Structure formats: C-alpha cells, structure tokens
Structure 1
Amino acid sequence: MTILWDETTCGCKKAVAARLAPCQNGFDPLHCRGVVLLMMKLCTCLHLAALLLGTCAANAAASESTTPTSLVITHVTVIDPGEGTVRPNQTVVISGDTILQVVRTGSRAGAPPQAAVIDASGKYLIPGLWDMHAHVLDPEREFALFLANGVTGLRNIGGVAKDVFKWRDEVRAGTTLGPWMIACGPILDGPRPATPEYSVPIETPEEGRAAVRAQKTEGAEFLKIYDGLSRESYLAIAEEAKKLKLPFAGHVPVRVTIMDATDAGQHSIEHGIELRGTSTAEDEVIRLIETTDVMAEALRTKNFALIPESIARRGNLLLDNYSVSRARQLYRALVKHHTYLTPTLVTEHALTFVDDLSQKDDPRAKYIPPSSREYWKPEKGMLTRYRTPAYKEFRKREFAKMLKHVAAAHQAGVRFLAGTDTSLPYIYPGFSVHDELALFVQAGFTRLQALQTATSNPASYFDIEKSAGGIQPGMAADLVLLDADPIKDIANTTRINAVIVRGRLLPRAVLDRMLRRAEEMVNK
C-alpha cells in the first residue's frame, strides 16, 4: 500500500491549526493527548511521503513464515493466566488457526498428519498479548513492531475511522498480517473537539443519539468518549449505546463524575483520571473547569505557563482531598458495574519522567521516524514545553499516587487492562506493552496477574473468553513462545523465541527480519 501525504488527503495541517484554537472543553493542548496524536500523524505522514512504500514489513515476512496448517509444540511449559495455571511438559496441537489439543507430552495426541513439530524443551508458552489502548497511524511499520513483540491483538481507540476499519478488515480477511484489531468509530466529543480530524462534535443529546446510531451502522465495535461532552449529551449517548448493545469507553468528560460514568455503564475508563473519583474535591474541580477559561487567558497574555500551573493547582486540590472512604465506594461501584480500568501507566510514566527519558539512548528509538523523535523532545512537545517546576513536582506526586490507587483498586477486585497509548512520545509500538506489564508488577500485581491484564482480561472485556485469551482447545492460536519464565521475572515476556498469530508461525529469525525492515522504513 502506498501512502502519500498532502493537505487535501490528510488534513493534518488544518486539524492541528484547529486544535490550537481556544479550547472550550475545559482542557488544553498541554494536557490533552489528542493534539499529540495529530502531530504524530503529521510527522508520520510526512515520513511516509518520502518512503513511497509499497509493502508492509509484516506482510513481507509472511512469505517466510509457516502458513496456518498444523503445528505441534512439545515439552513446553504452558502458562494460562486466565486459568491461573502453570503446566510443565505439555504438548499443544494447532490445526489451522485454532488450538486443537493441550495434553501432557507423552499422552496420545491427535496431531494432524504432516504437522510441523517444535521441541520446546525449556521454553514457556503464553497467550498472545493485547494492547488495549492503541492508536495505529502507520500499519506498515507498527504491525511489524506489534507482532515482533508478541502483541497479537489491539483495541484501536481512536484514529481516522475509515482507515482503521480498512486495516481491521484486511487483517481479518487474511490479506494483511497484523494483530487482530477491534476498533471504534470517530471520537464523540463536545462542540469544540480536541482532535477535529478524528472526532464528531456533539452539541445536544439528540446529536449524541444520532452519532451512536450512525457509528453502529458504519461498523464501529465500540464508542470512544472524550472530555468535552456535556453531562446531558453523555447520558444520552450512554442510553442509546445500551439500547443498541454498543459498548462505550474512553475518557470521563470533565462535566461528568466518575461515579456517574460507572453508573451509566461505561465499559472502561482510560488513563489515571479515575483518581478524580477518589477525592472529595471532584465537584469543586468540575466547577473550576466550567468557570475558569485558563486557555483564553493564556492566549490573550501569551503566557502559556498558566496552563500547567492551572493543571497542577487542580490536580493538587484533588490529591490533597483524597478520601479512603470515597475510594472504597468507587472501587465497589467499578466492581459492581464491571467497569475496567486502563491506566496506561507507561504513558503516565513517560509524561512524568520525560526529561530523563529524553537523555537516554533507547535502542527502540531506531524504529520511530526521525520527525517523530524530534517532536518527542521536551522542548518541542505540546505536552511538555510549557511545564513549570510546580507542574513537574505535581506530575511526580500524581504518578506515585496513581501506582497506589492501581494497587488498592486491584486488591478490591477491579479489573485492569494493559494499554500504552501508542503513538505518544516515548511509547514504542509493541515494546511498551512489556513496560506496562512491568509497571503493573511495580504497583503490586503478581507476575501472573500482570499477564492477565494483556491476555485473559481483554478476552473477558470483549466477552470472548471461550475463544481467546488463554491456551485451551477451541481457542484462537495466538501464542508467544518464550525462552524464559515470566512468572519468575516479568521482563522475560521480552525473551521471545517465536510468535504464532492465528496459527501462522513467526520464528525468531522472521521476527528479526520484520524488525530490520521496520528500521529500514524509518531510515529511507
């Protein structure tokens, strides 16, 4: 697929210019991830225009991999996070794109004739991983990076819907090798969307209901909610979505409380914003947002440091008024309504420690276009260049509290999803899923529980537990073969020997070629 960039086909310049106009959503370019995605897409499109690529790295590798026929993996330790089991010396039989049998090696296994056999002695088999908060902008490169890192499933939670639906359908049809993708339509936002190119502006409840019906017809598998919706529009969208059995997820609008969101049936809450629901100052912060136009004042005075100062003030107000009883009430509601949390800890970490990350020579940066890497620099990025010392200290305080909140919510029975918010700065497609798992462990999860956030929990979230997220007969043959035990050290999820995607074997040599081609793409 050849992708060319110009202002009429991409619209990035217009979208970025519109985003830099005064925002009436209560948020601003510094605090809103949306504008960063637009800038990242602009960088990516400019890069692709120079490349004039005709073939996806993942697809190029497909001809070198084993097509899905039949495969037998013997003497392997099977780790099934959903079952909570670790079974040594197993044989896993795969027929086509489905797991046929899982039995103890030496037992009678009904292997298909002429099946390829892998002796996996000393190795560990886990289900394919999911990134539950991804924004695919460049499938040629990103699909290769995801698969090479064992990420066989994506929840794409924002982008140009017609492009995302096309990529999703190509993967499902088998014409493109990539992670299985479940995708939303355009983001549902307020009258002045944070990302105009990716969004539908909603001014009234009636418009909200109509947008839900339209997205259902157009092929959206869930709805993405954003900050600027009014409370009335949000509740109308929730009601219509429930009527049409269309899940909705995303941010909690600034005029909606976290309890309102979980009561309304929001299926997942993204990022760390549910911290609002643990503070007795939540209503006060909502009033401040509604009555104070910091963005307009910053534009009038050209003093953009007002924005991070305001964010730090509001955030510290929430943290200063943290309530244990309110937190417990929130956790009970999240469990009762089956609301999942996707804290994107790796992104929150990157935003907090961006100065440190910018000084590191990260080998993964070679897979990111130079134009994007330039934008990632703290002095260039929309989320970082106007930071004040007070804002930096607030970010550190907030991140530390977020880890404690995640641990407490998890202990209370709240379910979590691993998501990265790729393609934000210092988030590497595929690689950062492993960073997210490590941060869950840092927050207090066991290694098995961390694995659940990227395997069995996504399957439960999508209500596909019988066909995905584990290693059982009848489940999809999306698997990762590891050289070391992730139950001993979660970092061992990166020690990938092979990936099996819908029955197709991608051995280490093929994965390395995919990575080299992804690197070549950004260097041409």
Structure 2
Amino acid sequence: MNVRFLALGLALAAAAHAPAQAAERYWVRDVAVIPADTDEVLSHRDVLIEDGRIRRIAAADAQRRVGDARVVDGRGKYLVPGYVDAHAHIATEGAIRDSKDPAIKGLDLGAQHAYDRQVMLSFLKAGVTGVANLGGSPGSDEDLLRLREEIDAGRAVGPKLYVGKRINGPRAAVAEKPDGQPVPASKPEAPTTAADGIVAVQRAKQRGYDFIKPYQFLNRETYQAVVEEAKRQGFITTGHLPELGCATCADRAFAFAHPMTNLAHTEELARFARIGSDLAPAEIETLAKAVADSGLSVTPTLITLKTIVAMYVQREVPAVPKGWLETVDPVTRLEWTAPANRYLSQAFRDQEGADRFSAGYDFSRVLTRALWKRKVPLTVGTDAALPGLPFGVSVLQEMVELREVGLPAVEVLRAASINAHRLFDPQSGSGAVREGERANLVLLDADPLADIHNAAKVAGVFAQGRWLSIADIDRQLSEGEAFEQELQRQIEQRKAAAGS
C-alpha cells in the first residue's frame, strides 16, 4: 500500500472516530416540527437536544438563553423524524473480503475502515438515520455487527444499524420438480429440519443479531420452527414467504397462519396470487385481507421492482438521481455492470415469467394501496444497493412511489420513519419528534407535507443526537474521494491484467 493511501486512511480514521459527544447540546431555533405520529405541524418551535435525546420542545422565544448549547438555525425549515431504510443490503469491507470476483477479492482497503465510513455517510446525506440490513455474507455480517457497536458507542458516525440474520434452506429442499439430486443433509447453516432451524435462531441470538430474516427455501416444518423460535427469543422476523407447490412446501393458508412480523416485499405476494391480465380486483382484496388479518406489516419495495423492470425493458441500469452517482463506490459500480449484474443477463431475460415483470410491478402498486386502506403498517425499503439504487437516495425514491399510489404525504413520512422504528426497535420509543425520544432527525429546507419531493431537501441530520449539516456530510464524503480513486485504480489494474 502506498504511503499517500496510508496517510489518507489514517486521516479518515481520525475523523471517523472523533467522539460523537463533542457537542452534546443543541438548540434548533424557530423551526416547524412535524412529529409524524399525528397530522399536526407545530410551527415556530425551539427544540433542545441533549445527550442524544429530545429534551424540550417549546414555543420559539428569541430571548431564550441557551447556555453552552450549539444553535442550529431552523427558520423556514422543518424538523422531521429520521428516515429508515427497512430493507437494505449494506456494502461493507467484509462483503469485499468474501467476494469471489477476482476484480474485487483482496482489494487493498487500508486498515482504517474508510470504505465503511463512506457508505455510512451516503445514508446520512439522504436523511437516512436508520438502516436494517437483511442479510449478507458471513464477513459482511461481522463487519456490520462491529460497525453497529462503533456507531452506538459514538466512536463512528452513521445511521442506527439493525443487523438481520438470514436463515435459508437449500433450494433443492423445496424443488417443485426434483432433478434427482439429493437434498443436502440438514445443518444450522442451511436447515431442513425444525431442530436445525431452532439452533440457527439460537446462534443468531448468541451472536447479537437484531432480527431474523426467514428465506423462501425453508420447507414448511423448518419455516414454522424458525418463525416460532424467533418469537420465543424476542426477535422480530422480516423476510420472504415460503415456496409453494412441493410436497414439503407451505400453502397460502399456512403462511398466513404462521406469519412473520413483517413481509420484505409486496412482490412476495405475487407468488400467492394470479398475476397478469386475468388478475381480478377481488383477488387483490382477498390477499390484502389475508395480510391484514394475519397481523403482518409490509415493506413494499416498489422502487426495487420499478428498477428491475427498467433493466429488463431498457437493457441497462437506469440513471440515478442527479448528484448521487458520485456517492456510489467503485466496487458497487462494478457490480452494477455485466456480467456481475444478473438483471442484464440473457438468462434473466429467458427465465419463466420474465414477460410478466411489468405486470408484477403494477400488481404490487395496486396491492400496496389496498394494504394501506386496510391499515396494514407499511415501511420504506429499497433493496439497495441493487443495481441503480444507491444507498440513501433510494429511500427518497421509494417515498415518491408510495405517494404516487395514493398515500397522503404524512402517511409516507410515517412509513419512512415511525413505522420502521416501531418494527425494529419497539422498546426504544416511537421515533416521533417528541420530548424524550431519541434524536434521530432530519432538518429539511422545505415542507414535505406540501410536496413529498421536499423530503430530499436535506439541510442536515441529527444522527444518534449528533448534528451534521449537509455541508459537513458533503465535506467528509469529498475527503474520501482519493480513497475511492485508489480503489478504482486497483480494479482497473486487475481488469487489465485479466484481459492480457
């Protein structure tokens, strides 16, 4: 590793590990507060933030003494709950170490976690102060569990992280048409028995995961055991519905009789209903009622489906919002291109049902509205960094999707904040902008209730009670540009060597 790269890494580390308590008290002066747990807007308020909590919300008073508190000018601005991405797959150094791609595996990342730091800043730039990671490689999970503790302790800057453990069986265990290959023996890492499914949940508890993600290739017996053991261990569950159609698979009634806490996609419900021109409105209503009756909440991930459809139709990754491509690191950019991007492959286009992707997106939009009308709690999730969906800004894109299917702006704001707090961290408050709540907040330059696009006009964030203006975030991101240029150089060098 060259000396300049090492020096840069050390400088980034010093900034990343600066104590979050450097300025413990803040007064946000004369701001409009949108608590989001009601429809009200509290105009002209002073907000005191101390030790990571909202200590006081009072009528604005220019004569009020603030002592040693740092003043944040809120005039003409709006204070709202911090956004949460309820479905992400966070890029980390651990994922790079686990990669099998020769252009990625073994990249020199330095020793100061500058890569992870850049990703965390990308979330904050969009006002995302909480992220749920729905499973990754073993190395990636270990990296996130470490990073979660660093952020919670104030030694690193970033959103509140919720790290999920994915539990899945081998695909062959639920094959509708067995190909003659034997099903691998059950083990906790890929369980096909209830006993191993229970052990997998218990190990996740011991390791300190925040929630469980059941995946679709668990057979009926194991799926039920994982969901029930997770509940006994105090975990929430958010993931995929089980497969249908094989001898050991679930059926629709079974899945709703043994529900998870949350469903990770409305797309999952496509397998539980007819999709296409023959989809009757009554079928959507029947499905929405089944979800509501089961007590499930849902993360629609409409922007995920929209982006996949765009790649299928246009044969390229759709353009990301202006100014956001610069936040996408070189490793992720590589994974967005062929052949790494499976959505651009011919095999993806040739799979059965590919011609119905657009119908699936339409189905999900209509179903999402039906779920909302039945008061099913919705959360905002993106599946980032799926190709075309950068970390952070994709949350804002999903908020627009929910607004466009008919949710009022305040309901979109709740889905992006309060509902996710209640799902992943129910013991730590509501997530609303109220006295006593944790200070994970976004300061906006315009009213998001007047136009949901204003949710993207971020003036700054309070992340774990620490204030970062958008200028601070942009500056710190720019400090990492040399680091990312070095990564790009390494990748290009490897690609050139592979082509020679």
TM-score in terms of structure 2 length: 0.79
Q: 1:52 to 1:263 in 2, by over 3 A?
A: farther
| 2:219/2:242 contact within 8 Å kept | yes
Percent sequence identity over matched residues?
27
Candidates 424, 448, 458, aligned match of 2:410: 448
Task: Indicate the residue corresponding to 2:42 in structure 1.
Answer: 87
Task: Indicate the residue corresponding to 1:41 in structure 2.
Answer: none
Task: Indicate the residue corresponding to 1:189 in structure 2.
Answer: 169
Candidates 57, 61, 68, aligned match of 1:106: 61
| 1:61/1:510 contact within 8 Å kept | no
**1:242 corresponds to 2:231:** yes
Candidates 128, 135, 149, aligned match of 1:151: 128
| 1:185/1:219 contact within 8 Å kept | no
Candidates 128, 131, 146, aligned match of 2:85: 131
Q: 1:509 to 1:273 in 2, by over 3 A?
A: closer
| Higher mean C-alpha displacement, 100-109 vs 247-256 | 100-109
User: Aligned-pair RMSD on alpha carbons?
Assistant: 3.1
State the shift of 1:467 in Å.
2.4
**1:345 corresponds to 2:302:** yes
| 1:58/1:514 contact within 8 Å kept | no
TM-score in terms of structure 1 length: 0.75
Q: Map of 1:378-397 to 2, 5 A cutoff?
A: 381-386=341-346, 387-388=348-349, 393-397=355-359
Residue identity opposite 1:106 in structure 2: D
What SS is found at the alignment partner of 1:498? strand
State the shift of 1:186 in Å.
4.2
**1:521 corresponds to 2:476:** no
| 1:64/1:510 contact within 8 Å kept | no
Query: Mind listing any 5+ residue stretches in structure 2 that lack a counterpart?
Result: 93-115, 175-183, 245-249, 487-500
Task: Indicate the residue corresponding to 1:30 in structure 2.
Answer: none
| 1:126/1:481 contact within 8 Å kept | yes
Q: 1:108 to 1:62 in 2, by over 3 A?
A: farther
Cα separation, 1, equivalents of 2:427 and 2:29: 25
Q: Map of 1:90-489 to 2, 5 A cutoff?
A: 90-106=45-61, 113-138=67-92, 139-159=116-136, 160=138, 161-190=141-170, 200-255=189-244, 256-276=250-270, 279=273, 318-354=275-311, 355=314, 358=317, 360=319, 363-377=323-337, 381-386=341-346, 387-388=348-349, 393-462=355-424, 464=426, 467-489=429-451
Cα separation, 1, equivalents of 2:90 and 2:48: 32
What SS is found at the alignment partner of 1:201? coil
Cα separation, 1, equivalents of 2:379 and 2:6: 35
Q: 1:271 to 1:473 in 2, by over 3 A?
A: same
**1:497 corresponds to 2:497:** no
| Higher mean C-alpha displacement, 360-369 vs 144-153 | 360-369
State the shift of 1:380 in Å.
5.3
State the shift of 1:132 in Å.
0.6
Cα separation, 2, equivalents of 1:352 and 1:58: 40
What SS is found at the alignment partner of 1:184? strand
What SS is found at the alignment partner of 1:476? coil
What SS is found at the alignment partner of 1:213? helix
Task: Indicate the residue corresponding to 1:43 in structure 2.
Answer: none
Between the two proteins, the alignment pairs up a number of residues equal to 435
Task: Indicate the residue corresponding to 1:312 in structure 2.
Answer: none
- 1:413-432 Cα distance to aligned partner (Å, 9 max, x none): 11111011112101101111
Residue identity opposite 1:183 in structure 2: V
Q: 1:180 to 1:343 in 2, by over 3 A?
A: same
| 2:263/2:298 contact within 8 Å kept | yes
Residue identity opposite 2:300 in structure 1: P
Cα separation, 2, equivalents of 1:249 and 1:150: 23
Residue identity opposite 2:38 in structure 1: E
Residue identity opposite 2:290 in structure 1: A
State the shift of 1:363 in Å.
3.7
Residue identity opposite 1:117 in structure 2: V
Cα separation, 2, equivalents of 1:212 and 1:63: 35
Q: 1:468 to 1:56 in 2, by over 3 A?
A: farther
Q: 1:238 to 1:516 in 2, by over 3 A?
A: same
Cα separation, 2, equivalents of 1:320 and 1:253: 25
| 1:100/1:473 contact within 8 Å kept | yes
| 2:159/2:464 contact within 8 Å kept | no
Q: 1:186 to 1:356 in 2, by over 3 A?
A: closer
Cα separation, 1, equivalents of 2:468 and 2:265: 32
Q: 1:273 to 1:53 in 2, by over 3 A?
A: farther
State the shift of 1:59 in Å.
6.9
What SS is found at the alignment partner of 1:200? coil
Residue identity opposite 2:288 in structure 1: Y
What SS is found at the alignment partner of 1:233? helix
What SS is found at the alignment partner of 1:424? coil
State the shift of 1:391 in Å.
5.8
Cα separation, 2, equivalents of 1:52 and 1:328: 60
Cα separation, 2, equivalents of 1:356 and 1:451: 33
Q: 1:438 to 1:259 in 2, by over 3 A?
A: farther
Q: 1:75 to 1:383 in 2, by over 3 A?
A: same
| 2:317/2:387 contact within 8 Å kept | no
State the shift of 1:107 in Å.
9.5
| Higher mean C-alpha displacement, 180-189 vs 417-426 | 180-189
Cα separation, 2, equivalents of 1:181 and 1:275: 27
Residue identity opposite 2:150 in structure 1: E
Cα separation, 2, equivalents of 1:123 and 1:131: 23
| 2:315/2:344 contact within 8 Å kept | no
Task: Indicate the residue corresponding to 2:98 in structure 1.
Answer: none
State the shift of 1:83 in Å.
2.1
Cα separation, 2, equivalents of 1:201 and 1:190: 6
| 1:455/1:469 contact within 8 Å kept | yes
| Higher mean C-alpha displacement, 147-156 vs 381-390 | 381-390
| 2:83/2:417 contact within 8 Å kept | yes
- 1:96-130 Cα distance to aligned partner (Å, 9 max, x none): 21100112113997x76321222311111111111
State the shift of 1:406 in Å.
0.8
| 2:19/2:156 contact within 8 Å kept | no
State the shift of 1:513 in Å.
0.7
What SS is found at the alignment partner of 2:356? helix
Task: Indicate the residue corresponding to 2:26 in structure 1.
Answer: 71
